Chains A and B, each alone.
Chain A
Amino acid sequence: MNTTANRDPEKTLVIVDGVRTPFLKMGGDFGTIDATEQGRAVVQTLLLRTGIDPALVDELIFGCVSQPADAANLARVIALRAGLPETVPAMTVHRNCASGLEALTVAADRLTAGRGEIFVVGGTENMSRIPLFFSLVAAAKFAALSRAKSAGGKAAAAFGFRPADFAPIVGLKLGLTDPVSGLNMGATAELLAREFAISREAQDEFALQSHLKAAAAREALAREIVPVYLPGSKAGFVNRDNGIREGQTMEALGRLAPVFERPTGTVTAGNSSQISDGAVALLVMSEKRAGDLGLEPLGRLVDFAWSGCDPKRMGLGPAFAIRDLHKRTGLRPDDADLVEVNEAFAAQVLAVLKILRSPSFDGLAIPEDRLNPQGGAIALGHPVGATGARLVLTALKQLKASGGRRALVSLCIGGGQGGAAWLETH
């Protein structure tokens, strides 16, 4: 598509700038707000920082997996609350764990189709606030109660409840279970660990590296983060990721019990991504408009690919997406100055690395010394709707700091998909 040589500046999407909230572990300070408020905060700050006239924005596109019940089209709520004019449309997109990247690729497709030039894209997730549900049986009883007219009828309906009816179904658990294969995401990682013979130690070592790299990169990460002002919090604002464990050790990781396959499993809370709250926003537009407005973009989107795979082995998604994207662009992971693969599970990333080294993925191996240089979701957390956009943001900021040229970002997606995108600075 838009390889360097024959690029059309009117159809090439550039990322002008981006910001994110700190990623906070579930139940932290963002537990008092919600995904919409996080999104509002990043979009408002993005508009301020870039100084763009909000009326120039053609559309706001935001990814979110578990949309708050009170904001059916969360993107529209974010747009209006962040100060975009009423005339600017907004939509929410959902491709599970890659929703934040989906927002970007939808904007790219819009641009190519001539449907807009300037977009605010991003993703937001508040996993602290994913609701609890009542069972169908209980819901039916509530309905009967509300239909009852007479006092006697009401009493009869009320007495129909049993204690079990009030036991909630955890929405988060539902969301992390693939209804087709019936497997929880952690179980899919265990499957890969078994099939690719990935040891507990290898996974823990990978997790440890994620923490160490992130801890060493605090200063660089701070450049992605904008303070979120929370009058309810202790300092009145938050601006620091709180999932990174500075003193992480193999011993500590080794003590954790497997969560998804007891007692023989290898996937633990320590070598899986953390469940977190956070949001990311990016200002993107055609290369031409950026030039006209005198803006200096962080970089451009070269091309992207979405691929499907076995839902039971959803963790392998990146491998297929990277291969499909190679077919479109001719670019190999080795062409990248850095590669960001989302760390849903250590086992899953290690399986991707392994399969890409196999003969059937001829020459597409990821150079491991260039993988996730500032750590990943195991240390930073994985607010599912936001992560895709974070990978783009962190990759571009790292390229800018290092003077590098190309980055490859990729994610696995619950339900059996993979996504990948090439970014380029010059």
Chain B
Amino acid sequence: MKTIIPTLKTGSSHHLRRPSVKRRLHLDLVDGVAVITFDRPDKSVNVIDSEFLEELETALRAIGHYEVRGVLFLSSKPSVFLAGADLEAFGKFGGESLAKLVERGQLLFSRIASLGVPTIAAIHGACLGGGLELALACDRRLASDDPATKLGLPETQLGLLPAWGGSTRLPRLIGLPKALDLILSGRQVASRPAHKIGLVDEVVPKERLRDRALALLGRSMPKRRRFFLTNNPLSAALTRTLTKRRLIKKTRGNYPAPMAALEVAGRGTWNPGSSLEPSFRRERKAFVHLAETAAAKNLLRLFFLQEKAKHGRHDRSIDLGNLLPVKRTAVIGAGVMGAGIAQAFASRGFPVILTDLDPERVAAGVKSAEKLFDEAIKRRIFSAHEAARKLDLIAPTAERVSLRHCDLVIEAAVEDLEVKKRIFADLGSRTSPHTILATNTSALSVSAIAVADGVTHPERVVGLHFFNPVSRMKLVEIVTTDFTSSEVVERALAFVRSLGKTPVVVKDSPGFLVNRVLMPYLIEAGRLAESGLPVTFIDEAMLDFGMPMGPLRLLDEIGLDVAVHVAETMVAAFGERFAPPLLLADLVRAGHLGKKSGRGFYRHEGSRAFPETFATPPRVLPQKAEIADGLDDLMVEESKCCLAEGLVRDADAINLSLILGAGYSPFRGGPLGGETF
């Protein structure tokens, strides 16, 4: 430690450089400890951009001039410690400048690691990507027990890898297997699980974070585990091989980032000298390479689209402050969708009345909601206690109770227009004029429901199309009719967002957006099967393309009768390109409706499925990629039609919807966008 410029008085603040308004952080001396507080004044989050790096460099240099006994990093934001790199700013870097940027961050964090005095990160709020990499460079990490505190390295989800030392330091801190689990999944963990895996040293209430961190700086360093068993070169190599095999199976080679991260993390666990530089070099090289891939560019775009979807407005003339927020809700229909929707509402703290025609149906709905909560417990989304209290929010009843206090009522009854019309006419009298009346129909006309006899105030009728399974599917189509008021759309947007889902506003039209775009593709897949191409060949082609499920398997899941019915509605509206192949009609006539009847394009036995054969396959099979491109073209063409018809605001709305609602290969950026290959 260098001496000495006269030691600053305790509590005084050392203002860095020009006192500009945009200062990202400030440095104070408290009892001989240098406290670096991240607090970007113009934003609610702290991110790492060039200015941040520069200010941190200056701060570390300044610390070098004083006799300090430790360094403490913290944030003064209510829910963010340091949310990683500023992707918007750094997205413009490339090639040489990117390599420099990566190296600059590595050097800076290494400087933190080698300050020669104890360092500690006191983490409250999101600590992600570069933010966690900074924390990893400290001697200790202390986390608040607040739910806002999340730690993770999401880089691979963006087609990149942690390259500011994270891929190198994390395996050394918590062992290779646990580190890979975090790096390859991009998963974010709360502070208690983070403590359990050794990522943070202690968990304390947020009010005590700073004092505890200061106190810990005076204690001797905890002994770190060495992880010889998992991190020695032999074990690491074995882990690499096994994980690689698993990754290839899962990603079909479409996602280079996890592979690269595995390579770097797996090789960096061990070296006889203590230098981390060889591993850092691999991080840099892999990062610069990945950043140039189309996958990374598309995934980054997708990330921005999702961020944008969190704030987008439908009608800027509406004053959001005057809108009635949705607080109390009701779901009419306790089937699979109704129960799933009720569970989604309750999960986010909304009281929800779940109702159906008789106690038997209501009971079935309660049972499925409880099952969904059990799953959520297993997946560590909720503790058993949290899940029980959320289940309380679901009020089941088979009585025709008043819905006057509900701000939103959503109908999820059978797909029968007459039934829905009756339900909406009845809802008209049971609700207040401000209650949003929503339908979860996936195929019927929302407009026809809105103008049905007895429906009062059609301006509050809107489609809220949740996808199955509701708990997993992030997209909700908000379907508007000519009558739907902007206020109702804005309220629905805010509500869908508060459910943690991504909304897309679509004009009422058969199939709305996602099902409409999928339909010609599914129909063509059926036609290909009819012509004799093997079922698995077609499905495999699309799995290779990056779809989460083959089109024929998907048809079996949807139900062939439902598919034919939807296709026929669309033929009426849009013409022959939606005409289902004869094979589909034949299968339905034979009672082969897909998974629900046990047979369809596959024979279903429990969770296993065996492909059926429909015609003699051609002697020479075409290339899978050729088939996939042909099928993809149909989605692209239909997307263009939807755009031309003005169903949605822009092409990106279609890209985002198809990726989130249909699993359209995210690394391709959507049917109407993205970098081409």
Contact = CB atoms under 8 A, between A and B. Distances in A.
Contacts of A49: 397, 399, 401
Contact of B367 (A40, A45, A47, A236): A236
A237 B362 contact: yes
Contacts of B353: 48
A231 B371 CA distance: 9
A227 B359 contact: yes
A251 B395 CA distance: 45
Given A83-B351, A229-B362, 12 more contacts: A44-B392, A48-B399, A48-B402, A82-B392, A83-B392, A227-B362, A235-B360, A235-B363, A236-B366, A237-B359, A237-B366, A239-B359
16 contacts: A45-B395, A48-B353, A53-B405, A81-B392, A82-B392, A227-B363, A229-B362, A229-B363, A229-B396, A231-B370, A235-B360, A236-B363, A236-B364, A237-B359, A237-B362, A237-B363
Contact residues on B (Cβ < 8 Å of other chain), bracket: 20 to 34
A57 to B, nearest CB: 13
B360 A44 contact: no
Contact residues on A (Cβ < 8 Å of other chain), bracket: 10 to 19
A412 to B, nearest CB: 35
A51 interface: yes
Which of A44, A229, A231 has most chain B Cβ within 10 Å?
Answer: A229
Nearest to B398: A227
Nearest to A83: B351
A44 B351 CA distance: 11
A53 B401 CA distance: 13
A229 B363 CA distance: 6
Contact of A48 (B359, B367, B392, B401): B401
Contacts of B69: none
A26 B588 CA distance: 51
Given A53-B405, A81-B389, A83-B351, A48 B362 contact: no
B401 A51 contact: yes
Contacts of A45: 395, 397
Interface in A25-76: 40, 44-45, 47-49, 51, 53
A47 B399 CA distance: 12
B603 interface: no
Interface in A213-269: 226-227, 229, 231, 235-237, 239
A231 B387 CA distance: 14
B138 interface: no
A231 B351 contact: no
A83 B395 CA distance: 9
Interface of B: 351, 353, 359-360, 362-364, 366-367, 370-371, 389, 392-393, 395-399, 401-402, 404-405
A41 to B, nearest CB: 9
Contacts of A231: 363, 366-367, 370-371
A419 B134 CA distance: 71
Contacts of B404: 51
Nearest to A40: B392
A144 B395 CA distance: 47
Interface in A83-107: 83
B402 A51 contact: yes
B357 to A, nearest CB: 13
A49 B401 CA distance: 5
A82 B405 CA distance: 15
A40 B393 CA distance: 11
A236 B405 CA distance: 27
Contacts of B393: 83
Nearest to B388: A81
B397 to A, nearest CB: 5
Nearest to A53: B405
Contacts of B359: 227, 229, 237, 239
Contacts of B395: 44-45, 47-48, 83
Contacts of B392: 40, 44, 81-83
Nearest to A50: B402
Nearest to A237: B363
B397 A48 contact: yes
A231 B395 CA distance: 14
Contacts of A227: 359, 362-363, 398
A236 B398 CA distance: 13
Contacts of A236: 360, 363-364, 366-367
Contacts of A229: 359, 362-363, 366, 396
A287 B126 CA distance: 54
Contacts of A237: 359-360, 362-363, 366
Contacts of B363: 227, 229, 231, 235-237
A53 B399 CA distance: 18
B624 to A, nearest CB: 45
A45 B394 CA distance: 11
Contacts of A226: 397
B122 to A, nearest CB: 31
A254 B362 CA distance: 43
Which of A45, A53, A236 has most chain B Cβ within 10 Å?
Answer: A236
Nearest to B354: A229
| Those 5 A-B pairs whose CB atoms lie nearest each other, nearest first | A236-B363, A51-B402, A237-B363, A229-B366, A231-B370
Contacts of A48: 353, 395, 397, 399, 401-402
A96 to B, nearest CB: 29
A53 B405 CA distance: 7
Contacts of A51: 401-402, 404-405
A422 to B, nearest CB: 30
Contacts of B402: 48, 51
Interface in A293-308: none
A147 B449 CA distance: 70
B404 to A, nearest CB: 6
Nearest to B399: A49
Contacts of B351: 83
Nearest to B403: A51
Contacts of A83: 351, 392-393, 395
Contacts of A81: 389, 392
A46 B263 CA distance: 61
A355 to B, nearest CB: 44
A153 B663 CA distance: 62
Nearest to A47: B395
Contacts of B370: 231
A32 to B, nearest CB: 13
Nearest to B404: A51
A248 to B, nearest CB: 28
B431 to A, nearest CB: 11
B429 to A, nearest CB: 13
Which of A44, A47, A82, A231 has most chain B Cβ within 10 Å?
Answer: A231
Contacts of B399: 48-49
A276 to B, nearest CB: 21
Nearest to A239: B359
A31 B367 CA distance: 18
A82 B362 CA distance: 18
A40 B353 CA distance: 14
B552 to A, nearest CB: 35
B586 to A, nearest CB: 38
Contacts of B367: 231, 236
Contacts of B398: 227
Which of A44, A48, A226 has most chain B Cβ within 10 Å?
Answer: A48
Contacts of A47: 395
A237 B363 CA distance: 6
A239 B389 CA distance: 23
B452 to A, nearest CB: 25
Contacts of A239: 359
A21 B397 CA distance: 13
A44 B353 CA distance: 10
Contacts of B389: 81
A45 B399 CA distance: 10
Interface in A335-392: none
A71 to B, nearest CB: 13
A367 B77 CA distance: 74
B500 to A, nearest CB: 22
